[in-house]
Amino acid sequence: MAFDYPSKLRAYEAALQRTKDALREDDRDNGTLFLDKAVSLSAELAANAAIAEFQVRFKKEHDQLLKIRGLLEKGENPFLKTKTVTPSSPKSEQKDGEPATTGFFKTEVPSVTLADVAGLEDVKEQIRINVLLPLQNPDLFYKYKSDAGARIVMYGPPGCGKSFVAEAIAGELKCHYAVIVVPDILDKYVGEAPKRLKAIFEEAERYDNVLLFFDEIDSMCASRDSDESTHTKDILNTFLTCMSGFKPKGKALKVIIGATNRPWALDAALVRGQRLDTAIYVRLPDEKARAFFVDKEFAKFPDAFEGSDLTKEYVIQATEGWSGADIKTILDQAKTRTLNRVIRDQLPPGQFYKVSKDDFDAALAAHHNVVNPEMLLRYEAFEKGVGL
Ligand SMILES: Nc1ncnc2c1ncn2[C@@H]1O[C@H](COP(=O)(O)OP(=O)(O)OP(=O)(O)O)[C@@H](O)[C@H]1O
Ligand SMILES: [Mg+2]
């Protein structure tokens, strides 16, 4: 009987999930049972996968699962270990009654860096001069400037890398990094949001190098003249006060980054000098940036792409007007279409199709572009006319 790849894959994923669930509860009997199932299914999938990429993936997962089994046999449960990487230790000790952390700071350093960011040279430049230079060459930097850090607001259409850049900067600096999605604190902590915000800044003060990323910052910054609720005004005022006190001391780096899709909604008080004084338009990827995504994807999956009638140049041209996030999704959906054809046609092990131009065109046609020309005109007008 032919190897039923989809149902084996489903069984494997279910076994993996059950293994994790059981071991997280420290239920070692069931954990070992499901783990054994996952071990044997991963071996079957590795042996029968049609695409070399998948053979490698399942073999790697199989080896990892064997390692987990080895640990369990020694009486260790790796799922109970909490992995926390603390990039630098808090400066001051925790006072009695003060919460240890606000929960907004990440406990692990992101693995991405600026080298993973396509395009956006102006953001990278700002960060190189104001943040990386003082770290790497303090003697030179402090001849010209008395403190280091950056206060940037990034604006632009969805999916073009605003959040990704913030993560990459934190990865580059290996610093304490908090992501605060402003509407979340407004919704979750009604009446409490200013207090939460203060606590975040207080926690940030305890660290040397730190990056605070405020996503959807416009939701706290509706113009003060508008008829916003007191609630929103309170949080904006708190933010302004906290930001004024949040200054680099000594050679510590203090970075604040805001991101928004609606720069025109920002309060003038927030974006004037000494506050978030550098505004950067995070635009749709240009040809060079699109080539970055396409090169990376083709290099990562050479079996899937090399030698196909789908060329890099074609993808780069066809994706003009799409965001980085969309380009990634479209390529991914094109691969899914190819994979479905391989499974449907029951190709023998070792044989597979390339991602064809048809697969790609179909994936592109099926995808909806949320970025429209009117939206772009509005950002461009904002960039040229209003400035900050
Ligand atoms: N310039 C880029 N460089 C590298 N990856 C990118 C870039 N733009 C988008 N991406 C990819 O797309 C994903 C989504 O992008 P991201 O979340 O950073 O967009 P965003 O601008 O923050 O969107 P939103 O306005 O919806 O919050 C990222 O995780 C990344 O994988
Ligand atoms: Mg984002």
Q: Tell me, what's the pLDDT at 84? A: 35
Amino acid at site 9: L
Cβ–ligand 1 distance for 319 under 6 Å, the answer no
Give the span between the Cα atoms of 272 and 356, in whole angstroms: 51
CA-nearest residue for atom 27, ligand 1, is 158
User: For the chain, where are the E strands, in sequence order?
Assistant: 148-155, 176-181, 210-215, 253-260, 278-281
CA-nearest residue for atom 13, ligand 1, is 325
User: Cα of 324 to ligand 1 centre, how many Å?
Assistant: 6
Give the span between the Cα atoms of 269 and 93, in whole angstroms: 34
For β-strands 278-281 and 148-155, DSSP reports them as parallel
The DSSP call for residue 228 is -
Q: Which ligand is nearest to the CA of 158?
A: 1
Q: Tell me, what's the pLDDT at 371? A: 94
User: Cα of 61 to ligand 2 centre, how many Å?
Assistant: 31
Give the span between the Cα atoms of 358 and 378, in whole angstroms: 34
Q: Tell me, what's the pLDDT at 83? A: 35
Please give the model's pTM, rounded to 2 decimal places: 0.74
**Any idea what the Cα angle at residue 247 is, between residues 223 and 95, rounded to 5°?**
105
Q: Which residues of the chain have pLDDT under 50?
A: 81-94, 387-388
Q: Tell me, what's the pLDDT at 329? A: 95
Q: Tell me, what's the pLDDT at 310? A: 97
Give the span between the Cα atoms of 116 and 164, in whole angstroms: 9
Fold type of domain 287-370: Helicase, Ruva Protein; domain 3 (1.10.8)
Contact 197, 238 (CB under 8 A): yes
Q: Which ligand is nearest to the CA of 179?
A: 2
Q: Tell me, what's the pLDDT at 189? A: 67
Q: In the chain, what is the straight-line distance between the N-terminal and C-terminal CA atoms, in Å?
A: 67
Amino acid at site 273: G
Domain ranges of the chain: 5-80, 114-281, 287-370
Q: Tell me, what's the pLDDT at 90? A: 46
Cβ–ligand 1 distance for 325 under 6 Å, the answer yes
Fold type of domain 114-281: Rossmann fold (3.40.50)
- Is residue 73 classed as helix, strand or coil in its secondary structure? helix
